[in-house]
Each structure stands twice: as structure tokens, then as C-alpha cells.
């Protein structure tokens, strides 16, 4: 509660201060984000960026579109796997379909069990169509495999979840997969494409994105508020040891 109160007060204060000056996304602060959603996405692959963007939205006018094939709520429940008949799954309501999605500055692609769904044709088509018109793509976890199948990772450098390494790297035969990385930044072509390692690495990648394209101060401010112990060195990958499937 205290944090929320403090934040509310701070947010008002920021609003009254001079407009922020920042490092740039080719001269501009990103404003429009799109997050792709598909059946059996990993919850945190979507909520980590949203967590960060919820705070960015208090400092800068920012828009987030949650984009999926239809407007039906999208569940985290895997298509076939639910051996214990559990009801732990959550659903998120999209704001746009692939047809109605606005143009976005930053496209975020999550992973999760659904990254292995056999038919993601609609998702792949959307990513392939949208990515060239964005200023940045951020893949989280096995999202880099989804983007690889969409055909946008050819010739790019990327990483992915070490516990899913063997399978996901086969999705991008023309991708240079970096086995030890908390996240990877590829600037070899437009748009720049970043990709993070597993799940919570999305926090570190997004905070680095904030550091680079908003300000270091903003990244520190947000990581302090969410009490996240940041990994700031992209080569610091405590999970690289799991690369041969020793994670579980």
C-alpha cells in the first residue's frame, strides 16, 4: 500500500516536472507497445514486461496492445497437457486481433509451452507482417523460437530458455544461438531484435531496455520499486549450465 501511495505521489510530481530527456530509440522514446498472445503462453513472459510498462506508463504516455488471433480470452493452459486436471491456468483478454492491431514501436513476443504448438500459423504470419514496421522486437524466453518460426530471426543472434535449448534452437537454423547470455541484443539489421533467456530474464532485458531508451535513473527507480535484484551484465547467465537439459 505504501509503495502504491508513494508511487501515486511521485507520479504526480513527475507529471509536473519538465518533460524527460532521454537516450533515444533512434531519436524517440517508445510509445506504442504490442504484446503477442497465444494459447499456453508463459504468464511471466507477459506480466514481466507489463509490470515494467505499468511504471513506465506513469512517467511517459505509453500504450500497450495485447494482440491475439481473436478477442477471446487467451489461456495459459497447454493444449494437451493437464495431467492433474488442474485449474491453475489464467486467461488474459486481448485488446486487438492480428487484423485490428495498431502499428507499434516495440513488439514483444512471449514464449511458454504454446511456443511448441504445432499450428501457430496466424501468430507467425502476424509477427512476420508486423516486425518490419516496428522499431524494436523483444523476444522473451522461448519467444525467440516463435519469432524464428515466423522467419524474422534469419541471420540474427539470439538466446532462449536453457531448459528448452535443444528443441527451440532447431526452430531457427539460420540463427546464431548464444548459449551463455541473460539476454542478447542484435543490431545487425532493422529492426533491432533482442531476446532473453528463460522467463524471469524478461525483467532484466526490459530493465536494460528502459535503461537504454528512457534513462538509467528510470531503470533503477523501477527495479527498486519492484525489489528486483537486477542482472545488468548480459553475459552473466547463471542458468547456462542447464543447456544440455539438466534443469529438471
CB closer to ligand NAG out of 1 and 27 = 27
CB closer to ligand NAG out of 1 and 21 = 21
Minimum distance, C-beta of residue 36 to ligand NAG, in the bound complex (Å)? 14
Minimum distance, C-beta of residue 194 to ligand NAG, in the bound complex (Å)? 15
Q: Quick check: 154 binds ligand NAG (CB under 6 A)?
A: yes
Asked if residue 124 lies in contact with residue 151, where contact means CB atoms within 8 angstroms, the answer is yes
Interface residue with ligand NAG among 9, 100, 174, 224 (CB under 6 A) is: 174
Residue appearing with cell numbers 528486483: 228
Candidates 73-81, 118-126, 194-202, 229-237 — which segment interacts with ligand NAG by CB under 6 A?
A: 118-126
What gap in Å lies between CA 38 and CA 190, rounded to an integer? 25
CA–chain centroid gap for 115, Å, is 13
What gap in Å lies between CA 188 and CA 163, rounded to an integer? 27
Question: What cell does 181 get?
Answer: 547470455
Q: Quick check: 245 binds ligand NAG (CB under 6 A)?
A: no
CB closer to ligand NAG out of 100 and 217 = 217
What gap in Å lies between CA 231 and CA 246, rounded to an integer? 22
For 115, list phi and psi in degrees, rounded to 5.
-60, -20
CB closer to ligand NAG out of 195 and 218 = 218
- Omega prior to 191 cis, within 30 of 0: yes
Q: Quick check: 183 binds ligand NAG (CB under 6 A)?
A: no
Of residues 24-63, those binding ligand NAG (CB under 6 A): 26-27, 59
Say how many C-beta atoms besides its own lie within 10 A of residue 188's C-beta: 10
Q: Quick check: 70 binds ligand NAG (CB under 6 A)?
A: no
Minimum distance, C-beta of residue 237 to ligand NAG, in the bound complex (Å)? 10
Asked if residue 147 lies in contact with residue 153, where contact means CB atoms within 8 angstroms, the answer is yes
Of 168, 72, 162, the closest CA to residue 122 belongs to: 72
CA distances, 127 to each of 35, 103, 215 (Å): 11, 12, 28
Q: Quick check: 238 binds ligand NAG (CB under 6 A)?
A: no
Residue appearing with cell numbers 528443441: 167
Q: Quick check: 241 binds ligand NAG (CB under 6 A)?
A: yes
Candidates 15-23, 35-43, 201-209, 228-236 — which segment interacts with ligand NAG by CB under 6 A?
A: 15-23
Of 135, 110, 117, the closest CA to residue 79 belongs to: 117
Q: Quick check: 97 binds ligand NAG (CB under 6 A)?
A: no
Kindly list the residues in this chain that would bind ligand NAG in the complex (CB under 6 A): 14, 20-22, 26-27, 59, 69, 85, 119, 121-122, 135, 151, 154, 173-174, 190, 214-215, 217-218, 221, 241, 243-244
Amino acid at each position: 500500500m505504501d509503495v502504491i501511495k508513494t508511487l501515486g505521489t511521485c507520479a504526480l510530481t513527475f507529471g509536473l516536472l519538465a518533460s524527460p530527456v532521454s537516450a533515444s530509440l533512434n531519436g524517440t522514446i517508445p510509445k506504442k507497445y504490442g504484446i503477442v498472445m497465444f494459447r499456453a503462453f508463459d504468464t511471466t513472459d507477459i506480466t514481466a514486461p507489463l509490470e515494467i510498462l505499468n511504471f513506465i506508463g506513469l512517467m511517459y504516455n505509453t500504450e500497450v496492445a495485447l494482440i491475439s488471433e481473436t478477442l477471446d480470452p487467451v489461456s495459459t493452459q497447454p493444449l494437451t497437457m493437464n495431467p492433474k486436471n488442474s485449474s491453475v491456468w489464467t486467461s488474459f483478454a486481448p485488446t486487438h486481433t492480428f487484423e485490428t492491431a495498431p502499428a507499434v514501436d516495440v513488439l514483444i513476443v512471449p514464449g511458454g509451452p504454446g511456443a511448441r504448438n504445432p499450428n501457430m500459423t496466424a501468430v507467425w504470419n502476424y509477427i512476420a507482417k508486423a516486425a518490419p514496421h516496428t522499431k524494436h522486437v523483444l523476444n522473451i524466453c522461448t519467444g525467440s523460437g516463435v519469432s524464428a518460426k515466423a522467419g524474422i530471426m534469419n541471420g540474427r543472434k539470439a538466446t532462449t530458455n536453457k531448459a528448452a535449448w535443444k528443441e527451440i534452437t532447431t526452430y531457427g537454423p539460420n540463427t546464431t544461438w548464444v548459449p551463455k547470455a541473460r539476454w542478447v541484443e542484435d543490431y545487425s539489421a532493422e529492426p533491432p531484435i533482442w531476446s532473453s533467456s528463460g522467463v524471469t530474464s524478461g525483467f532484466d532485458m526490459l530493465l536494460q531496455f528502459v535503461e537504454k531508451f528512457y534513462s538509467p535513473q528510470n531503470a533503477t527507480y523501477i527495479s527498486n520499486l519492484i525489489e528486483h535484484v537486477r542482472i545488468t551484465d548480459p553475459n552473466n547467465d547463471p542458468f547456462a549450465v542447464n543447456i544440455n537439459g539438466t534443469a529438471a
